[in-house]
Structures are given as structure tokens and as C-alpha cells.
Amino acid sequence: MFIGAGHTTVSLINGMISSILFRIPASFLFGMVMDMGLMGVGLGAPVASLAALIYGVIFYLSGKWKKQIIL
């Protein structure tokens, strides 16, 4: 929806935050630090998706996506 509204940067940042700032550290934390093994590494993806969802909902509720970017 954000790409269709012209907010491609928001989608890019959301994807990067999800991948780099949440998926990798969460996989490491669950897999290695908490000694959950492969199950912990697999839990990193849903945690990152949840973080991306929260970021998207916050941006949506802010109403900033309604402002026209492309004329």
C-alpha cells in the first residue's frame, strides 16, 4: 500500500530494518545465546516480520501515507 501511495522509501526502510536490525540479531539471540539451536534461528524470521508489521501499522496510523508524494 505504501509503495502505491508513493512512499517507496518507507517500504525500503521497513524491509531493511526487518532484515538487518531484527532478523539477524533475533536469530543469533534465539539460536546461540538462548541455546535453542535451529529452532531459535527459525524463530528469527517471525520476530522480524512482527517488527516490520508494527512499523507499518505505526506509519499507517500516523496518516503520513495520505500526503501525496508524486504529482
Please tell me what DSSP assigns to residue 42.
Answer: H
Closest by alpha carbon to 70, among 2, 7, 1, 10? 7
The pLDDT tens digits of the residues spanning 8-32 come to 888 999 999 899 999 999 999 999 9
Cα(30)–Cα(26) distance, integer angstroms = 6
Name the burial class of residue 51, with classes exposed (0-12), middle (13-18) and buried (19+) by CB atoms within 10 angstroms of its CB.
middle
The pLDDT tens digits of the residues spanning 34-70 come to 999 999 999 999 999 999 999 999 999 999 888 877 6
Domain ranges of the chain: 8-65
